[in-house]
Amino acid sequence: MKKGFVWILLAGLFFLAACGASEDGEKSSGENTEATDSKWSEIEKAGELVVATSGTLFPASYYPEGSDVLTGYDVEIMNEIGKRLDLDIKYETIGVDGMLAAVNSGRVDMVINDMEVTEERQKKFLFSEPYKYSYSTMIVRAEDLSGIETLEDLKGKKAGGGATTVFSQIAEHFGAEVVTYGNATNDVYLRDVDNGRTDLIINDYYLQSLALQAMPEFDIVLHPDLKFHPTDQAIVMPKEATTLKEKIDGVLQEMREDGTLTKLSKEFFGGKDASKEPEEEITVIEGLDL
């Protein structure tokens, strides 16, 4: 893959990673009377699943260079689910802010886009069993780790990030100043840590690992000691679509047992298996209301 194209795909990393979005834009699930257990009957009759995804989140959901066919870890998981349930998959490419509202309105049957399972979202939606487990890390300068040894050392530091993400909330929680850029590509974020304009970037471990691989010329690293905010990513469905959830969970379990999830993860995450919970200890941040 060409480096320039990698940056096009990664451009929305700090803004479009659904796991980091703090504003859902969804309506109350009670407003959608169609989101009932009859959802599965409707899907069987139609012979297809209508699925919301962004198409801009590398490597979860994206268009390869010169192609109009979606691919990515999340997309290929959903394609396999369709095969095993004998259903066609129809994708609706929707911005992250509108995905959950599309579930409530009935425009789509579900969402798959690296969506983090949170307590607040679980009050309004059903989630499948997780297909990805991750956590947050931070990119810092290699020479001195940007003067950061603990999360408490973020106080007074400058963190590059989106204005309304979980990652920025974490930075602010520990007293960092968030520096926002608008719709900037990731090389801008990484270069500014390298040159000292900012001190760190907080984001998803797997996505940050790919960003560093794409731009090795910067003297920056993932902080070797700070791993925090464990996350589960799962498929989002209407609150009362219990039969649909059972069907999806059954297929995901089959894919886990036969190695399909591991195979797909290693294909899209540089040989890493994001389908399994990390073995290392991940710090849970107390007092962070998400």
3-state secondary structure string, 41-83?
Answer: HHHHHHCEEEEEECCEECCCEECCCCCCCCECHHHHHHHHHHH
Residue 116's pLDDT is: 87
Report the CATH number of the 134-229 domain: 3.40.190.10
**What pLDDT, on the 0 to 100 scale, is given for residue 24?**
52
pLDDT reported for residue 1? 46
pLDDT at residue number 182: 63
What is the block-wise mean pLDDT of the chain (290 residues), using blocks of 10 residues?
47 51 48 62 97 89 92 97 98 89 96 90 96 97 98 97 79 95 72 97 90 90 96 95 97 98 96 93 86
Domain boundaries, the chain: 3-131+234-268, 134-229
Instruction: Determine the Cα–Cα distance for residues 207 and 210; give it in Å rounded to an integer.
Output: 5
- Indicate the Cα dihedral angle 86, 88, 89, 90, nearest 10°: -160
pLDDT of residue 36: 52
Q: Which helix (H) or strand (E) holds 101?
A: helix 96-105
- Tell me, yes or no, if the two domains 3-131+234-268 and 134-229 fold the same way: yes
pTM listed for this prediction: 0.79
* The two three-digit tokens of residue 159, written as one number: 């963190």
Q: Which of the following CATH numbers is that of domain 3-131+234-268: 3.40.50.150, 1.10.3720.10, 3.40.190.10, 3.90.180.10?
A: 3.40.190.10
Q: What is the pLDDT of residue 287?
A: 85
Residue 108 pairs with which residues in a beta bridge?
A: none
